[in-house]
Amino acid sequence: MNKNSSKIDSYIRKKKNKIIFITLSLVIFLSVFFGLLVAPPMGKVSQVNGQVLRLTGMPTDYGNILLLLVKLENGKEIRIRIEDSSYYKQGKTIILYKQEPLLYGTTSYTFKEYVK
């Protein structure tokens, strides 16, 4: 009887260890996956030039968010956020920071300054 009992205990211990291993592996995988989803773009940063087309706004509960519509050198049109409408100079060339994603996601642009 002792022999059978120890075999059963050994079997149950192996099953428990397998379940714990699978659960921990799944938790680690999901943590990494969701961490990458909410991670900011961490890729290469470069400077690009663009021409300001117009000023647009987006209403929110806390006021309007000001956006510049910019045409990049490659012909792509993007919107970038600015803090104050005094930064708006239609038809002028601006310098932007371009942040590319490390693995996946969208490229983000940030206003730097107007070309002098």
- Domain boundaries, given as residue ranges, for the chain: 1-38, 45-114
pLDDT tens-digit map of 40-60:
767 888 999 999 999 888 878
| Topology (CATH level 3) of domain 45-114 | OB fold (Dihydrolipoamide Acetyltransferase, E2P) (2.40.50)
pLDDT attached to residue 1: 57
pLDDT, one tens digit for every residue, the chain (116 residues): 577 888 888 999 999 999 999 999 999 999 988 887 777 767 888 999 999 999 888 878 877 788 889 999 989 999 998 887 777 788 899 999 998 887 777 888 988 888 87
pLDDT attached to residue 25: 97
Site of tokens 């260890």 = 17
CB 81 within 8 A of CB 66: yes
CB atoms within 10 A of CB 79: 13
pTM: predicted TM-score of the whole model, two decimal places? 0.62
Strand partners, 110: 97
**% of the chain with per-residue pLDDT over 90:** 38
Q: Who contacts 66 (Cβ-Cβ below 8 Å, separation ≥6)?
A: 55, 56, 57, 81, 82, 83, 84, 85, 88
Q: Who contacts 34 (Cβ-Cβ below 8 Å, separation ≥6)?
A: none
